[in-house]
Structure 1
Amino acid sequence: MADVEKTEEMHKLFDKTAKVYDQSGVEFFGPIGRRLVEFSGVSAGQSVLDVGCGRGAALFPAADAVGADGEVIGIDISEEMVKYAREDAGRRGLGQVTLAVMNGQAPDFPAARFDAVIGSCSLFIWTNGPDDVRPYRELLRPGGRFATAAPSFFSTLRGKWALFPEAVNDLLMPYMLTSLKQNGAYDSQFANAGSNWLATPEAIEKTLTEAGLTDVEVREEELPVVVESGRQWVDFTYTTGMRGMWERIEEAERAELVQEVSRRLDGLRDDSGSITTPVPIVYIRANAPRD
């Protein structure tokens, strides 16, 4: 898992991003969170831990799934993320939801506490192998479900990443790699793509099996991300962890890059005037042994 310095980097980034996180008007984290909860099989009356809950993309669908007789605990390293998620939970009247500021890399709960441990677009940031996954398995009751979702890393073996539209991958990937080398927060998932446990379905199954989980299922599905302009896509990325990449680029160079990215994406408009870029998302589920 990430060391103290890298954890602090994540903390600062997501505290800074929390106010606008998933608030750009572009449908992204919400659909992924809803699909993850559906894929996880969370059901009424269960106890669920949402690791790296952000502003609630999976937290609130999980609350709907478990109902008033269940419970969902959301944890996030960012105080600001937790603040906004707690406010939203209150407005929704979700008494079954509890939120806490906690480092998702070291969740502080008793063993066998939960029926399900989920993480939507979060766990991939800091998990590098079975040793990092094992703590989540230990939180599960016998037969409990581990489930996570992430932008697909299957294409990283070809020097690409799912979050970047094909038309701008060659522009942005070098900046992403430079940013990652500077802050270290997500480094292994890119720089060591060949050994990344998320790079292939086989690697995922091997990692989760070695972590003590069983019945591993991996599914890649395309999420259509719709924007009205190339600039809206750029603005959307500022409301995600990709903000860290943009902020590490010198101002004048960044302005030129934004202009070129916007120009290329504007060339993808369909007859309705919208731009749709398919983003492959990987959904993963596995079970804790029953005995």
Structure 2
Amino acid sequence: MLQQSSAALASVFDRASEDYDRTGAAFFTPLGRRLVEKARVEPGSSVLDVGCGSGACLFPAALATGPKGRVVGIDLAPGMVGRARRAAESQRLGNVSVQLMDAFRPEFHGARFDFVLSSMVLVWLPDSAEVLERYRPLLNPGGRFAFCNPRLTGQDGIPFVPEIFGTVMESVGVHPKTFFEDLDNGWLGAPDAALLKAGYTGIEVCDETYSLELLSGEDWVRWSWSHGFRSFWERVPQARLGELEKEVAEGIDLLRDSDGVIRIPGTVRYVSAST
């Protein structure tokens, strides 16, 4: 499985939108909050959140910029846009707006922002290095583009993914490891050169460890269905799906620590650069 077309990606995340960030596994929200911190979003600033999902980065950005600022979220999945809009309305955040838009083809026609943020999104985009060039004109002079993605080390397998998942997928001809190896060989593994080529300066790269904490293997399976990983599950023959979900869950249950919690580690790479 390589990076998917915009239409296919929209369909995957639209199907995931109802459960996205709602499975009880703290993941997208803390990472989105951390990205806002790393980007140093300032009060009164204008912010664009690329691939906003249900608001994991969008709402921390709105809090950081305050009522005098402006935060715009874009997502290509209608279900995600609907969830984010409803959440903004329920929180009475007048400084937040959400638009249906392809992250690979931003259309703002002259609008500019102080910050462009993207949390755990670029990893899914086709030719994501080109995205860097497309967003630079949307930044004000001195503005910052900041993003985060899982970081492959080349030794520890797929971040936040237990080995049993890869083994089970391989048994039915689905290859998640290959997908992530392709990414590690690309620009995400060493973003400095791509950012410099796109005209950015002041590049900062920071790797931080994070553990996905769960109470059961079934929790991990539910979590994996709630975002882009469902692309792998959906390639499993339907007749074997339940059997393989159970096998993965039981294998993950064996990873439980002495306190009863399952911790699946990974590294997140935070990158920021200025115009």
Same fold (TM over 0.5): yes
> Which amino acid in the other structure matches residue 240 of structure 1?
H
Asked if 1:171 corresponds to 2:170, the answer is: no
Contact 1:154-1:198 within 8 A present in 2 as well: no
Over 3 Å counting, the alpha-carbon distance change for 1:170 and 1:11 in structure 2 is closer
Alignment counterpart, residue 236 of structure 1, candidates 223, 244, 247: 223
> Which amino acid in the other structure matches residue 159 of structure 2?
A
2:35 match: secondary structure:
helix
Deviation at 1:126, TM superposition (A): 1.2
| Partner residue in 2 for 1:283 | 270
**More displaced stretch, 257-266 vs 45-54:** 257-266
Contact 2:152-2:184 within 8 A present in 1 as well: no
| Partner residue in 2 for 1:80 | 79
Contact 1:227-1:276 within 8 A present in 2 as well: yes
Contact 1:52-1:76 within 8 A present in 2 as well: yes
| Partner residue in 1 for 2:98 | 99
CA distance in 1, matches of 2:94, 2:65: 12
Q: Show the 5 A alignment for 1:206-221.
A: 206-221=193-208
Q: Show the 5 A alignment for 1:241-280.
A: 241-280=228-267
Contact 1:223-1:281 within 8 A present in 2 as well: yes
Over 3 Å counting, the alpha-carbon distance change for 1:278 and 1:109 in structure 2 is same
Deviation at 1:70, TM superposition (A): 0.1
Asked if 1:15 corresponds to 2:23, the answer is: no
Alignment counterpart, residue 160 of structure 1, candidates 157, 161, 164: 157
CA distance in 1, matches of 2:149, 2:29: 13
Deviation at 1:278, TM superposition (A): 1.4
Deviation at 1:172, TM superposition (A): 5.1
Deviation at 1:267, TM superposition (A): 1.2
Over 3 Å counting, the alpha-carbon distance change for 1:197 and 1:222 in structure 2 is same
Question: What are the superposed Cα offsets for residues 119-153 of structure 1, whole Å, 9 maximum, x if unpaired?
Answer: 11112211535433101111111110000011113
> Which amino acid in the other structure matches residue 74 of structure 2?
I
> Which amino acid in the other structure matches residue 121 of structure 1?
M
> Which amino acid in the other structure matches residue 83 of structure 2?
Y
1:48 match: secondary structure:
strand
| Partner residue in 2 for 1:184 | none
Asked if 1:115 corresponds to 2:114, the answer is: yes
CA distance in 2, matches of 1:217, 1:273: 37
Contact 2:160-2:266 within 8 A present in 1 as well: yes
TM score, norm. by length of structure 2: 0.91
Asked if 1:195 corresponds to 2:191, the answer is: no
Over 3 Å counting, the alpha-carbon distance change for 1:220 and 1:175 in structure 2 is farther
**More displaced stretch, 131-140 vs 170-179:** 170-179
Q: What are the ranges of 5 or more consecutive residues in structure 2 without an aligned counterpart?
A: none
CA distance in 2, matches of 1:161, 1:252: 26
* Identity between Structure 1 and Structure 2 (%): 38
Q: What are the ranges of 5 or more consecutive residues in structure 1 without an aligned counterpart?
A: 182-186
TM score, norm. by length of structure 1: 0.87
